[in-house]
Amino acid sequence: MLHRRARTATSPKRTHRSRHPYIFKSLVHCGICGRKMQGQHSHGVAYYRCRFPQEYALANKVDHPRNVIMREDVLIKPLDTWLVQGFGPLHRRHTIATLLDQAHTDMPPAAAVTPEGPSVAECDAKLSRYRAALDAGADPAVVAGWIAETQAERQRAAQRHQAPAEEEARTPARLSEDQIITAVEELGDLVDALRDAEPEHKLEVYRSLGLHLSYDPETQTVRASVDLAAHRWDSVRVRGGT
């Protein structure tokens, strides 16, 4: 027995492949808690399951069933059909036009510029005059009050000037028309690969698409989204249709 164990320990390790490839591995999220659903097989059928212990649900104030289960095979065909409809050669022009229209619609309107007090330059000019008055013999107590008030106004003016720049920095850059067209064309090429892809290779295509799936157990609906300029499209019905 010791000899056999020693021989086994020194033998090269084999790389074990998964017996059951999951087509949507790490892509399906529970629509209730947002966590990734784990794959499991039962009687040769792949499922995705979200287990949420009762104590976690109570601690996080989430009304969550003990088990949320979604069957894999009922989603493949509707999902692929939805992707082809959006990115196939016959529909790409419509998808590009829709995205461009959304990009223009989602642009925030230009904010009306209304004066809310003196500017930084105006405050600096006031402070210079007050210091000159102080040098000329004005009452120091009175001038000190003017300076304190103007310094507070200057600080508010500086904050107003800084706020638009910070807001612009937080706003994600939008894709240009050429970038949207290029992205849709590239996604279309990936979608075309789904038709001939083996089940174990579909996952690679879905990940390349930036696919995100969220399963709602109450309506038995999966909301599918592709990562492109933060746009989201329609839902995919699990029970027939799209």
Alpha-carbon distance of 50 to 4, in angstroms, equals 42
Q: Does residue 30 sit in the same domain as residue 139? A: no
Of residues 8 and 49, more confidently modeled: 49
Alpha-carbon distance of 201 to 196, in angstroms, equals 10
Q: Evaluate the CA torsion angle 102, 103, 104, 109 in order and state its sign.
A: positive
Q: Does residue 100 sit in the same domain as residue 219? A: yes
Q: Does residue 74 sit in the same domain as residue 162? A: no
- pLDDT confidence band for 123 (50 / 70 / 90): confident
Three-state SS string over the chain comes to CHHHHHHHHHCCCCCCCCCCCCCCCCCEEECCCCCECEEEEECCEEEEEEECCHHHHHHCCCCCCCEEEEECHHHHHHHHHHHHHHHCCCCHHHHHHHHHHHHHHCCCCCCCCCCCCCCHHHHHHHHHHHHHHHHCCCCHHHHHHHHHHHHHHHHHHHHHHHHHHHHHHHCCCCCCHHHHHHHHHHHHHHHHHHCCCCHHHHHHHHHHCCEEEEEECCCCEEEEEECCCCCCCCEEECCCCC
Q: Does residue 131 sit in the same domain as residue 199? A: no
Mean pLDDT value across residues 73-96: 84
- pLDDT confidence band for 107 (50 / 70 / 90): low
Q: Does residue 100 sit in the same domain as residue 29? A: yes
Q: Assess contact for 49 and 37: CB atoms under 8 A.
A: yes
Q: Does residue 115 form part of some domain?
A: no
Alpha-carbon distance of 117 to 121, in angstroms, equals 12
Residue 13's pLDDT is 55
Q: Does residue 163 sit in the same domain as residue 46? A: no
Residue 72's pLDDT is 94
**pLDDT 10s digits, 144-194:** 888 888 888 888 888 877 766 555 555 455 667 777 778 777 777 777 777
Mean pLDDT value across residues 35-41: 91
**Enclosing domain of residue 166:** 120-170
Counting beta carbons within 10 angstroms of the beta carbon of residue 207, is it exposed (0 to 12), middle (13 to 18) or buried (19 or more)? middle
Q: Does residue 55 sit in the same domain as residue 162? A: no
Q: Does residue 5 form part of some domain?
A: no
Mean pLDDT value across residues 133-152: 81
Mean pLDDT value across residues 207-222: 90
Q: Does residue 41 sit in the same domain as residue 96? A: yes
Counting beta carbons within 10 angstroms of the beta carbon of residue 30, is it exposed (0 to 12), middle (13 to 18) or buried (19 or more)? buried
Q: Does residue 99 sit in the same domain as residue 188? A: yes
Q: Does residue 77 sit in the same domain as residue 61? A: yes
Give me the percent of the chain exceeding a pLDDT of 90. 16
Q: Does residue 138 form part of some domain?
A: yes
Q: Does residue 31 sit in the same domain as residue 146? A: no
Q: Does residue 16 form part of some domain?
A: no
Q: Does residue 219 sit in the same domain as residue 190? A: yes
- pLDDT confidence band for 231 (50 / 70 / 90): very low
